[in-house]
Amino acid sequence: MLFSLTLFLWRLYRHFSIMFSTDRLTVPEYVSRLQRGRSGPATDPRAVSPGINADVQAVLDTTLPALRCAIRRLKSSKETSDSDETRRAIAEIFQLVEEAWVLPTVGRQVAEEICNRIRLDGGLELLLQLQQTPAVEITYESAKLLEQILVSENRDYVARLGLGVILNLTRQQEDAQLARSVSGILEHMFKHTEETSIHLITNGALDALLFWCRGTDPTVLRHCAVALANCAMYGGHRCQRWMIEKQAAEWLFPLAFSKEDELIRFHACLAVTVLAANREIEKEVVKSGTLELVEPFIASLDPDDFARSLLDSADCMQGKTASDLQHLLPLLDGTRLEGKCIAAFYLCVETSIKSRQRNTKIFQEIGAVQSLKRIVMYSSNGTACALAKRALSMMGEEVPRRILSCVPNWKTCEVQTWLQQVGFSAYCDRFQELQVDGDLLLNITDQDLSSDLGMNASLTRKRFLRDLRVLKTYANYSTCDPNNMADWLAEVDPRFRQYTYGLVQSGVDRNSVQHLTDQQLGHDCHIGNGVHRAKILGASRRPLRPCHTDAQPAGPDVFISYRRTTGSQLASLLKVHLQVRGFSVFIDVEKLEAGKFEDKLIQSVQRARNFILVLSANALDKCMGDTAMKDWVHKEIVTALAGKKNIVPVTDNFTWPDPMSLPEDMRSILNFNGIKWSHEYQEATIEKILRFLKGNQDLIDGPDGSKGQEKNKQT
């Protein structure tokens, strides 16, 4: 009875919250009557299907008859070519699916049963056929329904029998309404298998997603961000390499940079972080500049608020499956800070969702708990550490204490604390009896564990040595490593930092390492892995990079100045368009208030060869009356004018102000030709900008006819 009442109240809320939405299919009154019928009093006990609990079965008993009826009507209307009846049947099925997804607690199970039933009753085959109908509205609506039902088994079906249909839809890139559904379909299909992702990319699906990344539709951008994250996470190394070749890391920048939608930014950050975890392409990902956005963005979010925003989305409110969450573990256990931050945050969000479902044990089952504890114990980054602590607390797990990083100086009591936190409390007495301190701990071998410390089980020793390797990798060696061998080893491979103490104890420094032999590294420095020894020797014999302490680094080709409130989206698009054409571009990701950052920003303007000024709506309003030059855009313009930079204004919904309303030191900016940005014809606009950057000022549009003529005389 309680469940029925809860279900009734939830459906009532959903009915009133969506009945006025304009972004919905038209639903007949029949479905509303069906919903009222579901909320009646409890009936006699019914037989429950194997694997389905009673609450789920109760909902299915009232939903499935309506679903079967709607599918039969869809078949009949297709055979009779009745477009209106086809659309009504699609709308009924759509609402049944949507309402299932948003049910509290049992929503995922109910929705998956309904989605699978659509396939088993022939509805999925019908939807794929309807994608090829000449009736555009039916194509749109059937694609929207298809996007909603792509659970695992349905993805299998589409991958086997309908992928060609989906790929044909991706070729209609200019159809904005169709893009809203097709991008969502690709979001699901890119998490199917590596083979499916490969097939999608080789037939243009990734190109379509990257094309849509230039747009402004939040729904399409959200689907694109998630699809790219799925491609990176589930597509394997081959697909990740293709993403780099097609410059996906660069096109993720506008998505991660935008202030419009946190879900878009989050999944764009997740995608680029997963790509950076692949060491084969890590340098190219770093070069894109997108990775710099990840840690500050994650630090600005609150996991509970983010989880609440997911609860408002039918696609996300049930959270991720165990299989999905396991893909986060390589980020948690990896070497990049961005990966640890975003994975720990993701687990905080999922814990918030799973706690409502009373299913937090899932995190222990997938091995996430130990990874989070390692971050708390060893990470020096405040964001990653705080998120890991929060996730563990929400899971009901014990939060370990931070381990003091200067391991070589540990006393026996600190060794005891470490043993307890990594799960070896049973050996504390023996370690204490033998007075094992930090120095001895860093030198312990498998033989020592077996003969002196009583670890008789081989697997126990292996587990201990694995935890010891982690400790060695994160340890602070500053008190005994004057030549900073630790950082040099980390540059060769982050895992090699574990060998620092052995090298330092043997008296090895950066200069002498190149004269060592393989035998010396193995016997004297205790590096047992032959492949690791070969890599260290190879790196040591490469010539040292020249150090030009007095030389200024080369300046960027282009500095982009913009007003963050209205111009960040265009500024980020300009950055990527120029970057993929070989230009080096500087764009500040956060305008800080003062200090060293201010000096660095001004120096970047001074060193840049070109200065692009994004004039978006009200971009110069804060400059008016700014006699003290406190506004950032004002400072950047004055610096560019003083440095006689090649200034290129790019306007977008911008109204040119009265020159006398601006401070005198920046008025001359109004004398420069402006290029009007066209979102529909981006390539053509970029070609104009390129000609301007190369000194060709022909075909450049002024703010209006008279001003344009005046400016042409002065430029």
Write out residues in the chain with pLDDT < 70, as ranges: 1-53, 311-318, 543-553, 590-598, 695-715
pLDDT at residue 319, as a whole number: 72
Contact 141, 91 (CB under 8 A): yes
The DSSP 8-state label assigned to residue 552 in this structure reads P
Active site residue 636: yes
pLDDT digits (tens, 9 = 90+) for 121-152: 999 999 999 998 888 999 999 999 999 999 99
pTM over 0.85: no
Is beta strand 610-615 parallel, antiparallel or unpaired with respect to 675-676? unpaired
Contact 375, 334 (CB under 8 A): no
Count CA atoms closer than 13 A to 15's CA, side-chain side. Answer: 13
Integer Cα distance of 335 and 493 in angstroms: 10
Integer Cα distance of 401 and 399 in angstroms: 7
Integer Cα distance of 182 and 469 in angstroms: 47
Single-letter residue type at 456: N
Residue of 112, 187, 284, 636 marked active site: 636
Tokens linked to 144: 């929207």
Contact 315, 101 (CB under 8 A): yes
Q: What are phi and psi of 427, to 5 degrees?
A: -105, 5
Closest by CA to 219, choosing from 295, 147, 300, 269, is: 147
Integer Cα distance of 389 and 393 in angstroms: 6
Those residues with Cβ within 8 angstroms of residue 47's Cβ, 6 or more apart along the chain or in another chain:
none
pLDDT at residue 545, as a whole number: 57
Burial of 25 (0-12, 13-18, 19+ CB in 10 A): middle
Those residues with Cβ within 8 angstroms of residue 410's Cβ, 6 or more apart along the chain or in another chain:
404, 418, 437, 438, 439, 441
Exposure string of 667-683, with b = 16+ CB inside 10 Å and e = fewer, is eebbebbbbbbeeeebe
